[in-house]
Amino acid sequence: MESFSLILAIVVVTALAFDFTNGFHDTANAMATTISTGAMRPKAAVAMSAVLNLVGAFLSVEVANTISKGLVDETGIRPEVIFAALVGAILWNLLTWLVGLPSSSSHALMGGLIGATVATAGIGAVHGGVLVTKVLIPALAAPLVAGIAAMLAARLTYRLGRKADGKAAEKGYRAGQIASAGLVSLAHGTNDAQKTMGIITLALIAGGALAPDSDPPLWVILSAGVAIALGTYLGGWRIIRTMGKGLTDLQPQQGFAAQTSAATVILASSHLGFSLSTTHSVSGSVMGAGLGRKGGVVRWSTATRMFVAWGLTLPAAAVVAALAEWVCGFGDWGTALVALFLVASSAAIWKISRREVVDHTNVNDPGTPAEEPAGVVTQAIAAVTPPPTSTLEEELTATVPAPSVPAPTAPASAAAGADPANPPAKTTV
Amino acid sequence: MKIDWAALGSVFGVSLVVTVALVALFTLGITGLSRRERAAEQGRSAALALTGAYACFAACAAAVGYGIYLIMA
């Protein structure tokens, strides 16, 4: 068996790229509250999270063979389909990172798989019932479950801890937050790095480089773990800022309650067989903890934009993946075109992100009067970009920024929301 | 299409109980430590508070250990 075709190599590299975006997209899940409450310095926090992600990738040998979770018919899946799915997932991850919104990387991946499968095998290959039970219901349930638990826990810790003050209490809450954040990081490494390993293994099997039903080879485990750790260390500072400061203002007690609730929900759900998204759980628990303090507020405008992004994740990734799969269908030059497009649009998104840099130095100062870091970013983008054309992006526009921005600025920011994905979209399709 | 309400319900119940219990334990531990801090400032000892605090933290550490075990399982 000749070992490695070009398309396989491309899929593996793309999968690792997805793993990387997954890492920096989800740093916020583990570390946003820890950073915003000052329990750890930003760099130290992401470094710890990165190490634990790497460790997590090696902890479990239970192979993520259920990547698509029965969403699509996996028989006869070709490497090109997986490639197209990854393109959709990566672009959506980058786009939501640009506007600083936490969204589920797993949903993006599932959306990508659905879109690519539909494009290649028709709508019949997607199992609608599974879509509802594995995607829709968990997406609604996760923030509720984690939020209610975090709210009660925050209330309780304020009540019980009335007499806790001074250095001991401060140190205690700090240690508690670090421990629970570490647990989230570890669980994330296990779950999400495994997902990528599963994808690569699936591609290798589909491409005939591996025997069916084989375990991921060591180099796959190693590279997936390293990619996710590197991504985590890079830190998705924009999303960290939204989650740690944008949704609500957290005190150490709340940060502790939120992180504990998130860790518990993630572990309980994956263990009891009703898998919930890490991102959704953490966002929910942050909001719950925000409500759990007397006088605590949740910025519902930011929260609404986040919910909209969650709703769009799957369809948006699906549309991009379907387009990518369609172009790939033209043959090798089509695949090359998609690969080129992926690189170009990633570079473009990165370039746009440099206009307003968010990193470890300013992750904790959202500029209080603005209150909407992402909104500021969006408007900055709006100022420099051509008007949108594609329908998908218009949908995104209409829904995402609208609630957060007052009427006069709405058109501008609308154009902004649409834009990042847009110029690339024109080049491909 | 079958929604596994039992699994969802148990995730909800377990998460709620475990989170609240853990946070309560940990807060009690912290309260114990800061009581000892105050006692130490006034030159008294607070052995009971300290023991209680360590018991609480030990229980929390056990929970974290169980969490790691679940991740590995």
The whole-chain average pLDDT of chain A stands at: 77
Digit-coded pLDDT (tens) for A80-121: 888 888 999 999 999 998 888 888 888 888 888 888 888 887
Is A145 close to B10, i.e. CB distance below 8 A?
no
Q: Which of A23-27, A165-169, A338-342, B6-10 has the lowest mean pLDDT?
A: A165-169
What CA dihedral angle connects A105, A13, A195 and A358, to 10 degrees? Answer: -30
pLDDT at position A60: 67
For A218, residues 6+ apart whose C-beta sits below 8 A from its C-beta are: none
Inside any domain, residue A382 = yes
Backbone angles phi, psi at A102, to 5 degrees: -70, 130
pLDDT > 90: what percent of chain A? 9
Residue from A328, A258, A319, A281 nearest A36 by CA:
A258
Backbone angles phi, psi at A367, to 5 degrees: 70, 85
Alpha helices (H) along A60-161: 79-98, 105-121, 128-131, 137-160
CA A389 to CA A418: how far, in whole Å? 8
Inside any domain, residue A1 = no
pLDDT band for position A2 (50/70/90)? very low
- Please tell me which of the candidates A137, A156, A180 has its beta carbon nearest to residue B3: A137
Residue from A208, A197, A286 nearest A250 by CA:
A286
Q: Cα A352 to chain center, whole Å?
A: 19
Digit-coded pLDDT (tens) for A27-72: 888 888 888 888 888 888 889 999 988 888 887 656 455 554 455 6
CA A251 to CA A244: how far, in whole Å? 10
Q: Which of A124-133, A232-241, A311-320, A384-393 has the lowest mean pLDDT?
A: A384-393
For A90, residues 6+ apart whose C-beta sits below 8 A from its C-beta are: A14, A17, A18, A21, A342, A346
pLDDT at position B1: 58
Please tell me the total count of domains within chain A: 1
- Please tell me which of the candidates B16, B24, B28 has its beta carbon nearest to residue A149: B16
Handedness of CA A321, A19, A193, A174 (dihedral sign): negative
Beta-carbon-side half-sphere exposure of residue A237 (alpha carbons within 13 Å): 18
**Residues of chain B contacting A59 with CB distance shorter than 8 Å:** 71-72
**Min Cα–Cα distance to chain B from A182, Å:** 10
pLDDT at position A90: 92
CA A186 to CA A29: how far, in whole Å? 12
CA A374 to CA A100: how far, in whole Å? 6
Is B14 close to A161, i.e. CB distance below 8 A?
no
pLDDT at position A188: 83
Q: Which amino acid is at A419?
A: D
Is B30 close to A172, i.e. CB distance below 8 A?
yes
CA B15 to CA A227: how far, in whole Å? 31
> Beta-carbon neighbour count of residue B10 at 10 Å?
16
Inside any domain, residue A402 = yes
Digit-coded pLDDT (tens) for A177-233: 888 889 888 888 887 887 888 888 878 877 777 776 677 788 888 898 899 999 998
The predicted model scores a pTM of: 0.77
Task: Return the structure tokens found at A221.
Answer: 């485990």
Is residue A308's pLDDT more than 80? yes
Q: Are A199 and A67 in contact (CB under 8 A)?
A: yes
pLDDT at position A366: 58
Task: Return the structure tokens found at A415.
Answer: 């154009």
- For chain B, domain boundaries: 5-72
Is B8 close to A137, i.e. CB distance below 8 A?
yes
pLDDT at position A316: 92
For A234, residues 6+ apart whose C-beta sits below 8 A from its C-beta are: A20, A23, A24, A27, A46
Q: The domain containing residue A187 runs over which residues?
A: 6-428
CA A72 to CA A212: how far, in whole Å? 18
If contacts are CB pairs under 8 Å, which of residues 9-68 in chain B contact chain A?
10-12, 14-16, 18-20, 22-24, 26-31, 33-38, 60, 64, 67-68
Is B34 close to A148, i.e. CB distance below 8 A?
no
pLDDT band for position A414 (50/70/90)? very low
Is B19 close to A261, i.e. CB distance below 8 A?
yes
pLDDT band for position A302 (50/70/90)? confident
Is residue A360's pLDDT more than 60? yes
> Beta-carbon neighbour count of residue A167 at 10 Å?
10
CA B32 to CA B37: how far, in whole Å? 9
pLDDT band for position A369 (50/70/90)? very low
pLDDT band for position A254 (50/70/90)? confident
